[in-house]
Amino acid sequence: MAAAAPAAAAAPFEAPAANATAEPEAGDEDSRDVRVLQSLRGKICEAKNLLPYLGPNKMRDCFCTINLDQEEVYRTQVVEKSLSPFFSEEFYFEIPRTFQYLSFYVYDKNVLQRDLRIGKVAIRKEDLCNHSGKETWFSLQPVDSNSEVQGKVHLELKLNELITENGTVCQQLVVHIKACHGLPLINGQSCDPYATVSLVGPSRNDQKKTKVKKKTSNPQFNEIFYFEVTRSSSYTRKSQFQVEEEDIEKLEIRIDLWNNGNLVQDVFLGEIKVPVNVLRTDTSHQAWYLLQPRDNGNKSSKTDDLGSLRLNICYTEDYVLPSEYYGPLKTLLLKSPEVQPISASAAYILGEICRDKNDAVLPLVRLLLHHDKLVPFATAVAELDLKDTQDANTIFRGNSLATRCLDEMMKIVGGHYLKVTLKPILDEICESSKSCEIDPIKLKEGDNVESNKENLRYYVDKLFNTIIKSSMSCPTVMCDIFYSLRQIATQRFPNDPHVQYSAVSSFVFLRFFAVAVVSPHTFHLRPHHPDAQTVRTLTLISKTIQTLGSWGSLSKSKSSFKETFMCEFFKMFQEEGYIIAVKKFLDEISSTETKESSGTSEPVHLKEGEMYKRAQGRTRIGKKNFKKRWFCLTSRELTYHKQPGKDAIYTIPVKNILAVEKLEESSFNKKNMFQVIHTEKPLYVQANNCVEANQWIDMLCRVSRCNQNRLSFYHPSAYINGNWLCCQETSENALGCKPCTAGIPADIQIDIDEDRETERIYSLFTLSFLKLQKMEEACGTIAVYQGPQKEPDDYSNFVIEDSVTTFKTIQQIKSIIMKLDEPHEKYRKKRSSSAKYGSKENPIVGKTS
């Protein structure tokens, strides 16, 4: 009978009122209006038991890369002298293109020669969901040039009947190799591909070869080859010719793609094998095929000897419908701050049912932030946190929904604050060679510990003084939340005079400044990963700043450091002046009167990085080649420089940008190019990979979206040798031949696509639907038995303060999710039926039978 109780408990609750919002009929959506968006986040944790050197020095200097097929899109810092390197680097980026494999390569850094690839982890796109949201140890696989492939090939086969002059019949196989798409870069440049076309059987291997196509990843071959398949001694008239069955079963067409090495060895790019028996039922066969590794790849290598890599991977692919579909779910989520108690709100319930709270936090924070609802929601969940906090010294130290929401909020809105506060000093530290090591065990020969202490103190003091004078730059939303935290902490612990400060310092120092100092690359404060010595310096500075900012530790007689050498060093800072300065700073950033400056006097720093630009050709003599430059984008201008920190060579005011669009590869035979169209000649830029190119295009579009005179049409190719390559117009001022891409959100500091965030939340509710039902059953059980169950079960993991209100919210969520399921399912069916197997969008994998 007990098992039936949850169902029986549903009776006392009223069904939620039907939402009055008008919704489109399921199936009305045009698939062209549905956006398919991919993203990848996770963490490269560590490697272990890597293959040692054979010599006396067995250690390696290791780093790890992330690759979409063969394109590198992320690289970790180098961990020196280790066979079990600890990387601990988090990553997040949008994926702007299709891919077949997500790969992680472990490298051994080599100063004089090419870096050595120790091993790899390659995961098919279809298998990524099996590893989502959990840390997994992967065995490293051998890296073999015959298995490093990407791209696809377009092929057509026909079988013709030829009659010779003497009456004999010859059956002829026609192989038309049309094109390839998405071939890899070779040494950072587009390849010089060619194809060999072979007819292979038990007693034959006839091979032919295409011409070499120069500098392209998408070659158009359009070449036809002829092979004799069977011969007959005499001609016999038949309505349909036939090929002998035994020949059909044993013959196959093999196409191998190669990069022409000129003076060096040709590089294998991939192969496909197509049995001739695909023509058994039809005289013609045409399809796209994914290139495959070579059969004789290194399959027999012992993979256990290479070591292993621990990864946390979360890949998402969202089908974002038109905005009108998300109205009911968005409305329900945005009402969350007003729900009493907060644990009965839709936003809180999402955090309860997700396996990993981080999955829920990112879209929730962005959506609530976009609608100015984050401060009341974060305050309410923080207040719920404090109910379970018994010791004021441990306030906000756990990884709860409240602390994770605030962490994510600070990352989103605090980027510019970190740049104006920390970047100049971090640049000085990273570009200096001063040693700051104060651990006697780690001192190098010739190091002076007293001199190192002075160096470290100089940096700590400089950084600390900059932070405590930065309150006017603190974003308004951070100040508002800090004010609320201070108020609710004082109410929870009225007899503790320090808790009003520790509630704020536990976020702004411990979770914001200290984290940014120790990993500046993650917060875009530095272009590259610091070297090992600089990482150590930043770690020591971060520890000291964290403790300096902690009002709780300053109120004690001694510091909280475990290391003796840090305790000794921190004595330099145990003065009343530091305590007063911290208190004053925390007062300022948690006051309702402290607001962010208008920003009119100082431009917002948005993005910077190294890319290649094509010479503008402003003079008749200048050579129009590609040069490496350092690009900087602020809210006012785009500039490029010879090196970081140097004067700008060229400046484009943001107000002069007319459009930012991708540039076709055929323009310069280079991948990942885009163009900044402005009032002078277009600026052609090549990014280092597809992810970086996508980020720059998005940011430039966002910052210039509201400009007057923006173009409606543009040229997708370049103007070269007197004409546009795309439309052959000869006038340089000719109207563009292609519509500009659609606009994106204009908020340049907070990039929030609310439909995408709501779709992500819908996906999370769908994935956790069974747990949502368990929570619904828990509400019923509590109502029936007039209190929570005493026995340990799944229900004990839920926070349910008001079972009736929580039940009603869950009913609303279920109703909305089931309505949203209908258009999603219709779109999936429509997409699968339109993408025919063998089309460019859905190429054939492996042999066709």
Indicate the domain borders of the chain.
41-139+307-311, 152-232+246-290, 326-357+753-786+794-848, 389-556+567-589, 605-615+624-739
Name which of 429-438, 511-520, 555-564 the model is least confident about. Answer: 555-564
pLDDT at position 312? 94
Output b/e per residue, 24-60; b: 16+ Cβ within 10 A: eebeebeeeebeebbbbbbbbbbbeebbeeeeeeeeb
Task: Residue 151: name the closest of 267, 38, 252 by CA.
Answer: 267
Which of 29-43, 525-539, 817-831 has the largest mean confidence? 817-831
Calculate the CA 400 to chain-centre distance. Answer: 24
Task: Residue 315: name the closest of 137, 91, 69, 88 by CA.
Answer: 91
605-615+624-739: CATH class: mainly beta
Q: Does residue 90 sit in helix, strand or coil? A: strand
* 793 has pLDDT over 90: no
* 149 has pLDDT over 80: yes
Give the mean pLDDT of 113-128.
Answer: 90
**By the 8 A CB rule, do 348 and 798 touch?**
no
* 499 has pLDDT over 70: yes
In residues, how long is the chain? 849
pLDDT at position 232? 46
Rounded Cα distance, 307 and 460, in Å: 39
**By the 8 A CB rule, do 436 and 536 touch?**
yes
Q: 10 Å Cβ neighbour count for 354? A: 21
Q: Which residue has the higher pLDDT, 552 or 158?
A: 158
* 73 has pLDDT over 60: yes
Give the mean pLDDT of 433-462.
Answer: 90
Name which of 227-236, 317-326, 682-691, 743-752 the model is least confident about. Answer: 743-752
| Mean pLDDT, the chain, integer | 83
215: left (phi over 0), alpha (psi -120 to 50) or beta: left
CATH code of the domain made up of 152-232+246-290? 2.60.40.150
DSSP state, 437? -
pLDDT at position 415? 87
Output b/e per residue, 175-211; b: 16+ Cβ within 10 A: bbbbbbbbbbbbeeebbbbbbebbbeeeeeeeeeebe
**Residue type (1 letter), 806:** T
pLDDT digits over 225-242, tens only?
998 876 444 434 444 445
* 835 has pLDDT over 80: no
pTM for the model stands at 0.79
**By the 8 A CB rule, do 96 and 152 touch?**
no
Tokens coding 126: 């279809």
- 605-615+624-739 and 389-556+567-589 share a CATH fold: no
Confidence of residue 13 (pLDDT cuts 50, 70, 90): very low
Q: Half-sphere exposure (CA, 13 Å, Cβ side) for 220?
A: 3
Confidence of residue 795 (pLDDT cuts 50, 70, 90): low
pLDDT at position 632? 93
Give the mean pLDDT of 100-126.
Answer: 90
Q: 10 Å Cβ neighbour count for 128? A: 17
Q: Which residue has the higher pLDDT, 810 or 300?
A: 810
Angle formed at CA 14 by CA 10 and CA 18, multiple of 5 degrees: 125
Rounded Cα distance, 674 and 652, in Å: 15
pLDDT at position 357? 86
Name which of 302-311, 314-323, 488-497, 747-756 the model is least confident about. Answer: 747-756
Confidence of residue 465 (pLDDT cuts 50, 70, 90): very high
Q: Which residues pair with 713 in a beta bridge?
A: 739
* 556 has pLDDT over 70: no
Residue given tokens 């199936």 in the structure block: 27
Angle formed at CA 784 by CA 781 and CA 786, multiple of 5 degrees: 100
**By the 8 A CB rule, do 481 and 378 touch?**
yes
Name which of 291-295, 473-477, 554-558, 825-829 the model is least confident about. Answer: 554-558
pLDDT at position 643? 87
pLDDT at position 742? 59
Q: Does residue 715 sit in helix, strand or coil? A: coil
Give the mean pLDDT of 652-667.
Answer: 92
Concatenated DSSP letters of 225-256: EEEEEEEESS----SS----HHHHHH-EEEEE
Give the mean pLDDT of 271-293.
Answer: 87
* 720 has pLDDT over 90: no
pLDDT at position 21? 42
**By the 8 A CB rule, do 190 and 219 touch?**
no
**By the 8 A CB rule, do 257 and 273 touch?**
no
* CATH 3.30.470.20, applies to 389-556+567-589: no
Q: Does residue 584 sit in helix, strand or coil? A: helix
pLDDT digits over 346-379, tens only?
999 999 999 888 889 999 999 999 999 999 999 9
pLDDT at position 3? 39
pLDDT at position 234? 42
Confidence of residue 750 (pLDDT cuts 50, 70, 90): low
Q: What percent of the chain has pLDDT over 90?
A: 45
pLDDT digits over 585-633, tens only?
999 998 876 444 443 456 777 888 999 998 765 444 445 688 999 999 9
CATH number for the 41-139+307-311 domain, one of 2.60.40.150, 3.30.43.10, 3.40.50.2000, 1.10.420.10? 2.60.40.150
